[in-house]
Amino acid sequence: MESAIVARGLEKSFRGAPAVMGVDLRVEGGERVALLGANGAGKTTTLMMLLGVITPDAGTIEMLGHLLPHERSTAMLGVGFAAGYLPLPDKLKVRELLGVYGRLYGLPDPDDAGDRALRRFGISPLATQMASELSSGQRTLVGLAKATMHHPRLLVLDEPTASLDPDVALRARAGIESLCEADGTALLVTSHNMTEVERICHRVVFLSHGKVVADGTAADVAAQFGRPSLEDVFLHLASEEL
Amino acid sequence: MSATTLGLNHQRIGAVVRRQAYVQRRGWHRWFDVAVWPVVDTVIWGSIGLYVDQQGGAARSGAAYMLVGILLMHVLYQSNIAVATGFMEETWSRNLINVATTPIREVEYLAGIIIVGLVKLAAGLGMVTLAAWTLYSFNLLEIGWAAVPIIGVLMLVGWCMALYVIGLVLRFGTGAEILAWGVLFIVIALSGAFYPIDALPDLLQPVSRSLPSTHAFEAARTVLDGHPLPWDRLGWAMVGLAVFAALGVGFISRMMRVFRDRGYISRYS
Name residues 153-212 of chain A within 8 A of B (Cβ).
156
* CA–CA gap between residue B144 and residue A116 (Å, rounded): 53
Using CB atoms, pick whichever of B15, B261, B265 lies closest to residue A104: B15
Render each residue's pLDDT in chain B as its tens digit; 269 residues.
456 666 789 999 999 999 999 999 988 888 888 889 999 989 998 888 888 888 776 556 678 888 888 989 999 999 999 999 999 988 888 889 999 999 999 999 999 999 999 999 999 999 999 999 999 888 878 778 888 999 999 999 999 999 999 999 999 988 888 877 788 889 999 999 888 889 999 999 999 999 999 999 999 989 888 888 999 999 999 999 999 999 999 999 999 999 999 999 888 77
Task: Give the separation between CA B257 and CA A108, rounded to whole angstroms.
Answer: 33
3-state helix, strand, coil in chain B (%, to 5): 80, 0, 15
Of A74, A87, A92, the CB nearest to B22: A92
Q: Does A135 touch chain B (CB under 8 A)?
A: no
Burial label for A135, CB within 10 Å (0-12, 13-18, 19+), is exposed
ipTM of the shown complex: 0.91
Cβ separation B257–A55 shorter than 8 A: yes
The residue ranges of every structural domain in chain B are 8-268
SS3 A14: strand
Question: Strand A17-27 vs strand A79-83: parallel, antiparallel, or unpaired?
Answer: unpaired
Three-state DSSP class for A87? coil
- From A96's Cα to the closest Cα of chain B, the distance in A is 8
Write the residue in A83, A90, A156 that is nearest to B93 by C-beta: A90
Q: What is the pTM of this model?
A: 0.90
Beta-carbon contacts of residue A73 (< 8 Å; ≥ 6 apart): B103, B104, B105
